[in-house]
Structure 1
Amino acid sequence: MEKRSLSLAGHRTSVALEPEFWTAVERLAAEDGLSLAAFVASVDRGRGEGNLASALRVTVLRRVEAAASGQAMSSD
């Protein structure tokens, strides 16, 4: 696991993900023209009550599935 610290909504938080997921999150952020922090913040805003790390993993999975089926999907 790789832990990274970010500022979300004015508060510092840490998120631990496997390095492969961080690579995927960084790629998706770049595809969306967002900084890593902005991308994570967009996922954070849409996650509801769940864990942020889990929400990031699910976002990666959904985007990979959408790409595999030829669909476009936003991070929100």
Structure 2
Amino acid sequence: MIRKHSATLHGHRTSFTLEEPFWIELKSIAAAREMALAQLIAEIDDSRPADSNLSSALRVYVLDWIKSNGSR
């Protein structure tokens, strides 16, 4: 199921939609990297191409993380 989420990035509130498995994995990655979830989302947002949206960038980041760190 896809759900709407929101986070504060650089002092501004933004929203994005993610399927539950991506959301769970994103939280797991933040924990593995010992950083706040909002900090991880801001990092991904800062590094995404200008022509991509945040939801897509988050999904690609999760996929890249899983590919780089082995599947579960």
Common topology (TM > 0.5): yes
RMSD: 1.2
Runs of 4+ in 1 over 2 A off after TM superposition: none
Alignment of 1:1-76 (within 5 A): 1-49=2-50, 50-68=52-70
Q: TM-score, normalised by structure 2?
A: 0.89
Give unpaired runs (5+ residues) of structure 1: 70-76
> What is the percentage of aligned positions where both structures have the same residue?
42
Give unpaired runs (5+ residues) of structure 2: none
- In 2, Cα distance between equivalents of 1:27 and 1:14: 20
Say which structure, 1 or 2, has more relative contact order (CA 8 Å, 6+ apart): 2
Q: TM-score, normalised by structure 1?
A: 0.85
